[in-house]
């Protein structure tokens, strides 16, 4: 708690401690000032301002003001900011806190402008001290916090710790004991590692006081005794007095009257040795409280009277100091006004001489300019007459050339219009050729795909049918019943595959030729899906696959029933092909809205089959990409079914896509608009 005044003094005197002009020998500085040139005088004035702030702050303020004027004259922003900072310190010691704040704020602005963050930190710290004294505690905490961040950035641990201790003291005043404790404990190790024993003494004392306020008396005594040990080591009687009194207060709160009395008397002993009235007053007050606590009211009254006597003595001294301070301030302000008046008179005199010089020089320059103007005007008139004649001749020539150029320009414009027209025709022809070429390429790819399917995919099932039929014809009697059934089953499967492939080829062919009529009507898609499942049920049964229709029974959509059945049939057939035995295939639906809030029904066919690799997914719906993958039972496919699905879905104004992961099954999804 009592570190406030110590830190105020310490921080102010630590400003620019490494300055080359920190010599406090005032007489030497005064002599040096008389011998210095104007530029060197700024540094001497700064040193005098610093030297006087604890001796005669009114003089220190005058010197800092003079340093500000000279620094501005020589455009030295750093020295101007430094002079304003010193002015703020002198105003603080004079007790003129408003003026002190103004000086610091001006210095702060310049420090930001020249990016001197250390100077900025000093100003913020000093503003914190002034606001703390004025009880503007929130402003003070903000000032200290900004300053501490800068000091931390600069790596100045000791200055950082001092500022955090100031914040802790303010939190203590505001009753924020937990925050105050956190502030002080956070810097304890920094101070313990340093040589700042005096600062450590007061920091430990502060921590002990906070624990006492929090009624944690054991910890309070732990830190107070550590503080007492340091005060004994450095032989600081003021520190001893404060700590002894604080220990006595803690013992009194614990009702350990014997210990409380012992430490109060020790505190009084050292207070008298240090001859500090504030400490003597505190000791008398503590002893008065102690004797009142043990019901010895006579002694309590005796010490209270002594406490009042010392308090009155301090009050009288403060009043005298206040009067002296006011007188000093008045003399300072009077002298400042006189200096300002003399300065203004000198400025007026200098301005008058400067004005007369300017007037004389102006008349000379005016005369010379007048003569030059007369010569110039005469010369210009002669040149003008000559130029006028030349211009008239050139103007006639230019007019003739202009007419000729106009005719040429007209011809060029007509030619340009014709060229633009020709260019547009060429561009239009090129665009048509490009479109035609693209369509030809697409048709060529379609033709190649078609013949590829006929040449390979349609041929394969017929080869199987021929092979098994010949086997059955030639060896039927030799084969057992099981082998016969198996061969007939394979033959049947080949026939079905060939039929589905042929059906897809015919459907696709009709679609490409535009021979498929598109007649959408309101249909129950649950029933259409059931019909498709019924057609494929035997194929699913062969692989023991469950087909589940989860589409609501009352879902009606405006679709072409033949196209919808083809889409569902192809997608379920594919799912059966790539789903292992015992798998499950689900057909689901849900209503969705697109970005334009248009309603769609989203239908999905989901299996738990082998899945599709990402590089294959992009090829599934592209006619130009030839890709075929065998099913789980070595079933073959052409990929034509998905291409038909895509065309039919887009015919309805919908979209189709696949969501799949290798080894985790696939989900084919398509949308149909709700009309």
pLDDT digits (tens, 9 = 90+) for 627-642: 666 767 766 666 678 8
Q: What pLDDT does residue 23 have?
A: 40
Higher pLDDT: 62 or 349? It is 62
The edge-to-edge listing of strands for the beta sheet with 656-660 is: 546-549, 584-593, 599-607, 666-673, 656-660
What is the residue-wise DSSP string for 353-371? HHHHHHHHHHHHHHHHHHH
pLDDT tens sequence across 6-30: 344 343 334 333 333 334 468 888 8
CA dihedral 62, 68, 73, 76 (to 10 degrees): 150
Quote the DSSP letter at residue 581. Answer: T
Per cent of the chain over pLDDT 90 is: 37
> Is the dihedral angle over the CA atoms 184, 242, 285, 218 positive or is it negative?
positive
* CB atoms closer than 10 angstroms to residue 363: 10
pLDDT given for residue 335 in this prediction: 55
Segment (H or E) for 521? strand 521-524
Encoded tokens for 620 = 């599934």
Q: Does the structural domain 24-115 have CATH classification 1.25.40.10?
A: yes
Give residue limits of the domains in the chain. 24-115, 296-421, 441-516, 518-674
237: exposed, middle or buried (Cβ count in 10 Å: 0-12, 13-18, 19+): middle
Asked if the model's pLDDT at residue 92 lies above 80, the reply is yes
Q: What pLDDT, on a 0 to 100 scale, did the predictor assign at position 568?
A: 95
- Cα within 13 Å of Cα(153), Cβ side: 11
Q: What is the CATH number of domain 518-674?
A: 3.30.565.10
Q: How many CB atoms lie within 10 A of CB 651?
A: 15
Q: Do domains 24-115 and 441-516 have the same CATH topology?
A: no
Mean pLDDT of the region 259-280: 88
Instruction: Give the H/E segment covering residue 596.
Output: none
Architecture of domain 441-516: Orthogonal Bundle (1.10)
Question: Mean pLDDT across the stretch 638-651?
Answer: 84
Element at 284 (helix H, strand E) = helix 277-293
Average pLDDT rounded to a whole number, residues 84-99:
91
Q: Give pLDDT tens digits for 463-516.
A: 556 655 766 677 666 777 776 666 676 566 556 655 655 655 555 555 555 556
Is the distance from CB of 67 to CB of 52 less than 8 angstroms? Answer: no
Radius of gyration of the chain (CA): 51
Buried-state track 139-164, b at ≥16 Cβ within 10 A, e below 16: bbbbbbebbbebbbeeeebbbbbbbb
Site of tokens 């594919």: 574
As a whole number of angstroms, the distance between CA 205 and CA 223 comes to 7
Average pLDDT over residues 91-98: 88
Smallest CA-to-CA distance from 46 within 90, 112, 96, 109 is with 90
- C-alpha to C-alpha distance for 281 and 288, rounded to whole angstroms: 11
**Is the pLDDT at 61 greater than 70, yes or no?**
yes
């Amino acid at each position: 708690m009592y570190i406030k005044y110590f830190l105020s003094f310490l921080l102010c005197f630590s400003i620019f401690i490494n300055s080359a002009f920190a010599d406090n020998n005032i007489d030497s500085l005064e002599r040096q000032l008389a011998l210095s040139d104007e530029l060197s005088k700024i540094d001497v004035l700064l040193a005098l301002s610093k030297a006087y702030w604890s001796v005669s702050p009114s003089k220190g303020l005058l010197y800092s003001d003079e340093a500000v004027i000279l620094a501005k004259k020589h455009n030295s922003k750093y020295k101007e900011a430094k002079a304003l900072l010193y002015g703020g310190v002198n105003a603080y010691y004079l007790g003129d806190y408003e003026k002190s704040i103004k000086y610091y704020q001006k210095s702060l602005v310049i420090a930001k402008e020249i990016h001197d963050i250390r100077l900025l930190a000093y100003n913020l710290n000093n503003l914190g001290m002034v606001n703390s004294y004025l009880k503007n505690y929130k402003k003070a905490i903000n000032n200290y916090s900004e300053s501490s961040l800068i000091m931390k950035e600069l790596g100045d641990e000791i200055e950082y710790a001092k500022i955090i201790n100031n914040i802790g003291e303010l939190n203590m005043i505001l009753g924020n004991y937990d925050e105050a404790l956190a502030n002080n404990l956070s810097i304890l190790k920094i101070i313990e590692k340093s040589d700042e024993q005096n600062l450590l003494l007061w920091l430990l004392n502060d921590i002990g006081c906070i624990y006492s306020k929090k009624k944690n008396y054991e910890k309070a005594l732990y830190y107070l005794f550590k503080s007492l040990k340091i005060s004994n080591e450095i032989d600081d009687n003021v520190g001893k007095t404060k700590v002894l009194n604080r220990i006595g207060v803690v013992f009194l709160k614990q009702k350990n009257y014997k210990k409380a009395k012992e430490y109060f008397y020790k505190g009084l002993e050292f207070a008298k040795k240090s001859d500090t009235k504030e400490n003597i007053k505190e000791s008398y007050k503590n002893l008065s409280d102690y004797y009142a606590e043990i019901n010895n009211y006579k002694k309590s009254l005796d010490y209270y009277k002594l406490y009042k006597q010392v308090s009155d003595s301090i009050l009288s001294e403060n009043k005298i100091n206040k009067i002296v301070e006011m007188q000093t301030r008045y003399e300072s302000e009077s002298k400042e006004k006189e200096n300002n008046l003399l300065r203004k008179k000198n400025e007026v005199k200098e301005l008058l001489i400067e004005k007369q010089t300017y007037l004389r020089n102006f008349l000379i320059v005016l005369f010379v300019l007048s003569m030059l103007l007369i010569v110039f005007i005469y010369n210009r008139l002669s040149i003008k007459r000559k130029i006028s004649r030349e211009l008239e001749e050139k103007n006639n020539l230019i007019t003739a050339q202009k007419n000729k150029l106009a005719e040429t320009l007209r011809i060029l414009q007509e030619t340009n219009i014709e060229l633009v027209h020709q260019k547009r025709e060429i561009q239009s022809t090129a665009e048509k050729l490009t479109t035609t070429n693209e369509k030809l390429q697409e048709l060529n790819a379609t033709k190649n795909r078609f013949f590829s399917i006929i040449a390979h995919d349609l041929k394969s099932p017929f080869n199987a049918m021929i092979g098994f039929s010949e086997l059955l014809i030639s060896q039927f009697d030799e084969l057992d019943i099981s082998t016969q059934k198996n061969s007939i089953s394979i033959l049947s499967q080949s026939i079905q595959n060939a039929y589905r492939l042929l059906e897809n080829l015919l459907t696709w062919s009709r679609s490409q030729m535009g021979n498929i009529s598109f007649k959408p009507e309101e249909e129950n898609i649950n029933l259409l899906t059931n019909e498709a499942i019924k057609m494929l049920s035997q194929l699913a049964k062969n692989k023991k696959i469950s087909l589940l229709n989860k589409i609501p029974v009352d879902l009606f959509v405006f679709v072409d029933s033949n196209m919808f059945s083809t889409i569902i049939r192809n997608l379920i057939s594919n799912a059966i092909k790539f789903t292992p035995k015992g798998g499950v295939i689900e057909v689901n639906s849900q209503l969705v809205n697109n970005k334009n809030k248009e309603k769609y029904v989203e239908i999905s066919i989901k299996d738990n089959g082998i899945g599709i690799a990402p590089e294959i997914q992009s090829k599934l719906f592209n006619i130009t990409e030839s890709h075929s993958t065998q099913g789980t039972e070595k079933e073959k496919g052409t990929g034509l079914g998905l291409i038909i699905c895509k065309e039919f879905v887009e015919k309805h104004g919908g979209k189709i896509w696949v969501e799949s992961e290798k080894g985790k099954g696939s989900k084919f999804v398509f949308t149909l608009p709700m009309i």
